[in-house]
Amino acid sequence: DLAWDCAATAKDKPCDKMPQGWTPLAEQCRYKYILHLPGISDWLEHFKHQLLCGSVNIFLGKRPRSAAAAAAGLTSPSAFEHFDMSGPLLRDKEHFLFVETSARSVCRDLRAAVEMLERTPRRAECLARRGQSLASTLSMDTVYAYLAGVLTEASLRQRPGVARRAAVAEKSRLVTKQNFFTFIPPAKRPWIEHVFRHWHQAEFNNTPLLPPRAAETGSGLFH
């Protein structure tokens, strides 16, 4: 079972049901090295929390398809193909260590990386300390200030009719309370249905729990 398949709890109260083999963050922080493996999410959902541990964070995977990212107008971090407001701040070999690998060579590549860190403990210590320092600056006040700045700057650059023309060209739909849940892709629906919806009953009490309108796209978004 997944962590989000638990019964609804009070807001900010952790779920008392965990997946088999799940390692809580407090337990992860006891280790010298924390590994990040490719998953189904396009977002760095827990990376900033694990950076706070003061451990060396090792990200395993493939280099991003930079050409595709550039064509889409994205400026995601050079080491991985994930999205998060903290992503552009992260630097490989400064805040974390990226190990480029494949399914066939992951054990060999990871062992070589750990052996290198064990031979250079000062480097490992710097990685852990800088990652922790960066993550500690990402308070909610900082997040809100960032979002306010982005929305303000974006609104100043708006031109009449641009949003409407973009919506027509992309065949996008207007998001309302009545169709809100049709925009939630299958991978995210368990959390939305079991946790988010119960936390925000007042706002979504009359919103029908409709199925997704279409399959999720490769970017993690769909119209």
Shortest CA distance to 156 belongs to which of 148, 167, 168?
148
Q: What is the pLDDT of residue 72?
A: 47
Residue 58, phi then psi, degrees to nearest 5? -115, 120
Could you report the per-residue pLDDT of 154-191, keeping only the tens digit for each?
A: 888 877 777 777 777 767 777 777 888 787 777 777 77
Q: Name the average pLDDT for the chain.
A: 76
Q: What is the pLDDT of residue 54?
A: 94
Q: What is the pLDDT of residue 167?
A: 72
Which residue type, as a one-letter code, is found at position 25?
A: L
Could you report the per-residue pLDDT of 102-126, keeping only the tens digit for each?
A: 888 989 999 999 999 999 999 999 9
Strands (E), the chain: 33-36, 56-61, 97-100
**pLDDT over 80 (residue 79):** no
**3-state secondary structure (DSSP) of residue 86:** coil
Q: What is the pLDDT of residue 172?
A: 72
